[in-house]
Amino acid sequence: MLGGGVPTELTEPLNPYRSAMKGTLTKPVRCVALDGRIGEAVCCSIYDQRPSPCRELEPWDANGQPDEKCSRARAAHDLPPLDPSKGVPPPGKPEPLAA
């Protein structure tokens, strides 16, 4: 169950009981709801409706260090872990990308 009111047309079935965001079950992984260029500027186009796994993922752990899952996702796109010395953005909804 994705939760969060995800538009069903952006999902595909994992099994009879669960779904996943389109684009996340094949390599290279690229969620259909992701706008922008990875490594430059990206934004979730359904942020307020994003599924529960996305709501639960935090880029930083409780100690202000890069979260392990976030770092793995970045590594899949040849990006290094986030750098805490560059500042930890405040929690909350990020700004949308400029058109």
Q: How far is the CB of 77 from ligand SF4 (least distance, A)?
A: 12
Q: How far is the CB of 2 from ligand SF4 (least distance, A)?
A: 9
20 binds ligand SF4 (CB under 6 A): no
Cβ atoms of residues 67 and 58 within 8 Å: yes
46 binds ligand SF4 (CB under 6 A): yes
Q: Which is nearer to ligand SF4, 31 or 82 (CB)?
A: 31
CA distance 11 to 9: 6
